[in-house]
Amino acid sequence: MSTHAGEPEEGTITIAPSHRTGWLSLALFPWWTIPILIAGIAVVVLVRTDAQYSTIWSQLQNGIGTTLRVSFIAFALSMLIGLLIGLIRSNPPTAKSGFFRVLFYNLATLYVEVLRGLPILVVILVIAFAIVPELVKFLNSIGMDVTVRDIPFDWRAIIALTLTYAAFLSEVFRGGIQSVSKGQIEAAKSLGMTYIQIMRFVVLPQAIRRILPPLGNDLIAMVKDSSLVAILGVQDIAQLAKLTSSSTFRYLETYLIAAMIYLSMTLLGSLLVRWLERIFRTD
């Protein structure tokens, strides 16, 4: 039996538009958040009702401020250094380039390749126990009265995280700068704009818009990698968890709460990054 155009054939099953919309809503629902919410609610209930969990939480919450302070200071400094290196590496030298331009480009490339090739833990140990003491000796040799104890371990950790992440962020900045079309740069040059003006008014506003989500992801990674500073005795979440578990022998409870604290911070950061992606999304 023939059917009219647009009519379903006999024996086929059709899905109403309302059913399609409902199935799409179910398919797009973030089901992965349900186990995390259940685990988070369970930990909160245990902290509220169990004295042991409550004591552990009161000890670990003191490290949240230290973790966030180390992370945000190191990330802000790494952004400044990364932007400078990204500007240098985004404009490779040519045959007509001067000596200093070639020198700075190669020094910046050496810095990026070395720091990106070293584990962060190794960088922290080298900065804290090798470079800082040598720096103190140099300062004393030129007449300054400085001791190793004058440079606290949290700032040594901040320096190490800054130098490491500056190498990674420089590549993010370099990619964002080079993503701006050369036609816009040439048009700005034809208007008589200097290199600094082109970067400030033409290139960087567009580059920042495009690299903001990757920068947010690196900030989340910084929060997680800041746990490595516990090796220096910095009183962050990881270090306090280590001290608490070793004194109470409650390893499961202690590290469960520590894991939920880190997970809460990173998930909130991820939601913020996704919100920024929707706002700054470009064609």
CATH number of the domain at 78, please: 1.10.3720.10
Residue 51 resides in a domain: no
- For residue 68, the model assigns a pLDDT of 94
DSSP letter for each residue of 9-52: PTT-----HHHHHHHHHHHHS-TTHHHHHHHHHHHHHHHHH-HH
**Residues with pLDDT less than 50, the chain:** 1, 283
**Domain assignment present for 111:** yes
Q: How far apart are CA 6 and CA 56, in angstroms?
A: 66
* CA dist., res. 275 & res. 269, Å (int): 10
Q: Classify residue 38: in a domain, yes or no.
A: no
User: Considering the domain boundaries, does residue 193 fall inside one?
Assistant: yes
CB under 8 Å to 175, separation ≥6 — which residues?
A: 211
Q: Is residue 21 part of a domain?
A: no
Q: What pLDDT was estimated at residue 148? A: 83
* Three-state DSSP class for residue 138: helix
Q: Do 30 and 24 touch, CB atoms closer than 8 A? A: no
Rounded to whole angstroms, how far apart are CA atoms 43 and 256?
A: 8
- Determine the distance from the C-alpha atom of residue 236 to the mean position of all C-alpha atoms in its chain, rounded to a whole number: 18
pTM of the prediction?
A: 0.83
Answer whether residue 209 is part of any domain: yes
pLDDT value at residue 185: 85
Domain enclosing residue 72, as ranges: 65-279
The 10 Å Cβ neighbour count of residue 97 is: 13
Q: How far apart are CA 70 and CA 165, in angstroms?
A: 13
Q: How many domains does the chain have?
A: 1
Residue whose C-alpha is closest to residue 174's, from 220, 219, 108, 115? 108
Give the separation between CA 41 and CA 35, rounded to whole angstroms.
10
Longest dimension (CA), the chain: 102
- Domain contains 33: no
The answer to the question of residue 34 being in a domain is no
